[in-house]
Amino acid sequence: MNRILVVEDNPTLAYGLRNNLEIDGYEVEVAADGESGVRAGLASPPDLVILDLMLPGMDGYRVLKRLREEGLRAPVLILTARGEEADKVLGFRLGCDDYVTKPFGVMELLARVRALLRRAGGGTPGVDGEADAVERFGTVVVDPGARAVTREGVEVSLTPKEFDLLLALLRRRGTAASRLDLMREVWGHRAAVASRTVDTHVAELRRKLEATPSDPVYILTVHKVGYRLRPDPVPHGSLTSP
């Protein structure tokens, strides 16, 4: 199991990152400031570091410089509200491997984490790259690595958010996801989107992927909770939408 160190002083964001990374199969340690991040990174070197730049005491640039000077070779993903090119260039010069600007979609972040671990030789969680394995339900085939979807062998065009929403449902292996959870994962923890946005995107997924969108078999509503995706094929007519 890959270990990830998250250095983030915002407790809400740190909790969300930890929760989603653990769902994806990683072991996660969280440090709330730069100095504790350096100590954690050197005491038990992780397979990857997610590092905020705006930290109390020791900022992310100094943390990155110190970790690299002390010999940490694990990939480092910088996470920050700064989007200026000069900030990115400095981060890369100090040894970061990727850069994500807030607000961000969690699915994008997870994809970047997987890519960094693959390039570092650490693979992805699970067995034989399970996290990026092709998924199937009914006549729909989802390839997370290629971000491609087909239905009955024909390619289906999904928007980036529709694809991320589909992956968020698939990752739960049939368990329910609340609208709030989906909003946080797909639109980012700071995104000001109404729950109606989730409903609209679910309706589009049903239109594109269900045989009868008004009577879905796979992308199901969970009353007073949110949605779930039934991953296993079922005989026609054996299941009706809640």
pLDDT value at residue 239: 39
Ranges in the chain annotated CATH 1.10.10.10: 134-229
d(C-alpha 104, C-alpha 111), whole Å: 12
Residue 7 pLDDT greater than 80, yes or no: yes
More confident residue, 145 or 138: 138
More confident residue, 108 or 5: 5
Supply φ then ψ for residue 150, to 5 degrees: -125, 150
Residue showing tokens 């070197």: 45
Range 195-220 average pLDDT: 91
What digits encode the pLDDT tens for the residues 109-142?
888 898 888 877 755 444 334 446 788 898 999 9
Q: What is the number of other CB atoms lying within 10 angstroms of the CB of residue 152?
A: 10
d(C-alpha 33, C-alpha 7), whole Å: 7
What digits encode the pLDDT tens for the residues 224-239?
889 999 876 544 444 3
Domain covering 134-229, topology: Arc Repressor Mutant, subunit A (1.10.10)
Ranges in the chain annotated CATH 3.40.50.2300: 3-120
35 confidence band (pLDDT: 50, 70, 90): very high
pLDDT value at residue 32: 95
What digits encode the pLDDT tens for the residues 67-105?
999 989 899 999 887 667 777 788 888 888 888 888 788
DSSP 24: T
CA 101 from chain centre, in angstroms, equals 14
Average pLDDT, the chain: 84
Please tell me whether residue 6 adopts helix, strand or coil conformation.
Answer: strand
Q: SS3 breakdown of the chain: % helix, strand, coil, rounded to 5? A: 40, 20, 40
pLDDT value at residue 122: 54
d(C-alpha 86, C-alpha 82), whole Å: 10
Length of the chain: 242
More confident residue, 120 or 29: 29
Task: Return the CATH number of the domain spanning residue range 3-120.
Answer: 3.40.50.2300
pLDDT value at residue 31: 96
